[in-house]
Amino acid sequence: MISKRAHEIMIPIDRYPNIFHNFSLKQAVAELEAAVIIFGGRKSLPRALLVIDENYNLLGVVRRRDILRGLEPKFMQKMPHHHQKELLEIEGDPDLVYLSSGKVIKSMQAQAERPVKDVMQPVEDTIDYDEHIAKIIYKMVSKDLNLLPVMKDKKVVGVVRSVDVFHEVANLIL
């Protein structure tokens, strides 16, 4: 049976990239583009940033796809998905596509000034510092989570990522 505990596979909170809730989506993009996590001798790129308040309390997580959704031009946000698809699948005059893409890019640049708190995902679940990896796997799979904050004495001390849990499982079965 897998014997690791959360604290043995977590990334300490001070080594995981984070951003203040009032920072812009543009700043979040810059943070994600610059971030590299080195953990357990392996290097990886984070899929998300932790979102914190002024007192360094964890408020949520902002994932790449949350940022991309937040950058979506306002006129497209109100459209049903099938209309968005029709709009972006223009086949015809390449100059027309170029002109419309310029407007989309300008709108995205404007949306990039929105605060991260507008698009972040609240923390749905946490895991205890001494929790067994089997329970971590259960929570990640049953709740479709890629990241779980690790709690000790009612404070966030780290995060467990699905990629690190998967690595531990691979070590067991390979």
For residues 16 and 19, what is the distance between their CA atoms, to the nearest angstrom?
A: 10
Query: In one letter, which amino acid is 70?
Result: G
Maximum C-alpha span of the chain: 62
| pLDDT at residue 90, rounded to an integer | 54
| pLDDT at residue 49, rounded to an integer | 96
Query: In one letter, which amino acid is 32?
Result: L
Q: Could you list the pLDDT tens digit for every one of the 174 residues in the chain?
A: 557 999 999 999 989 999 999 999 999 999 999 999 998 888 989 999 999 999 889 999 999 999 999 998 776 666 565 555 555 565 555 555 555 667 778 888 999 999 999 999 999 899 999 999 999 999 999 999 999 999 999 899 999 999 999 999 998 888
Residue 100: CB atoms within 10 Å: 13
Burial class (CB within 10 angstroms; exposed 0-12, middle 13-18, buried 19+) of 165: buried
| pLDDT at residue 141, rounded to an integer | 96
Does the predicted model carry a pTM greater than 0.75? Answer: yes
| pLDDT at residue 74, rounded to an integer | 74
Q: Which residue has the tokens 């779980």?
A: 148
Model pLDDT for residues 78-96, shown as the tens digit of each residue: 656 555 555 556 555 555 5
The domains of the chain, with CATH numbers, are 6-68+115-173 (3.10.580.10)
**Which regions of the chain does DSSP assign to beta strands (E)?**
11-12, 18-20, 37-39, 42-44, 48-52, 58-63, 121-122, 127-128, 147-152, 155-161
| pLDDT at residue 114, rounded to an integer | 95
The DSSP string of 108-142 is: HHHHTTSBGGGTPEEP---EETT-BHHHHHHHHHH
For residues 122 and 164, what is the distance between their CA atoms, to the nearest angstrom?
A: 22
